[in-house]
């Protein structure tokens, strides 16, 4: 499994969640709320990337031949 595939499904789920949040807050005019939502989305994306990097490293160490 490649690093891209490790990220594919969770990224799809995150994008769906973000789309739903955008739809739920479509009429929001509160700048503070909008900033919070953007910040929250970016934090989730950052955590997803970190998690996928850790999984990729673990996967690589499992597939390398041991000397």
* Dmax (CA) of the chain: 60
Task: Quote the tokens at residue 15.
Answer: 């994008």
pLDDT confidence of residue 43: 94
pLDDT confidence of residue 30: 96
Q: What are the b/e assignments for 24-47, b being 16+ CB within 10 Å?
A: eeeeeeeeeeeeebeeebeeeeee
pTM of structure: 0.66
Q: What confidence tier does 65 reach under pLDDT thresholds 50, 70, 90? A: low
pLDDT in tens, 25-48: 999 999 999 999 999 999 998 998
Task: Quote the tokens at residue 38.
Answer: 């953007």
pLDDT confidence of residue 62: 74
pLDDT in tens, 5-14: 656 788 889 8
| Count of CA atoms in the C-beta half-sphere (13 A) of 36 | 8
């Amino acid at each position: 499994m490649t690093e891209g595939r490790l990220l594919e499904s969770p990224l799809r789920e995150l994008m769906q969640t973000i789309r739903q949040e955008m739809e739920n807050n479509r009429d929001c005019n509160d700048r503070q709320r909008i900033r919070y939502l953007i910040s929250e989305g970016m934090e989730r994306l950052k955590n997803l990337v970190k998690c996928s990097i850790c999984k990729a490293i673990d996967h690589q160490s499992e597939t390398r031949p041991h000397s």
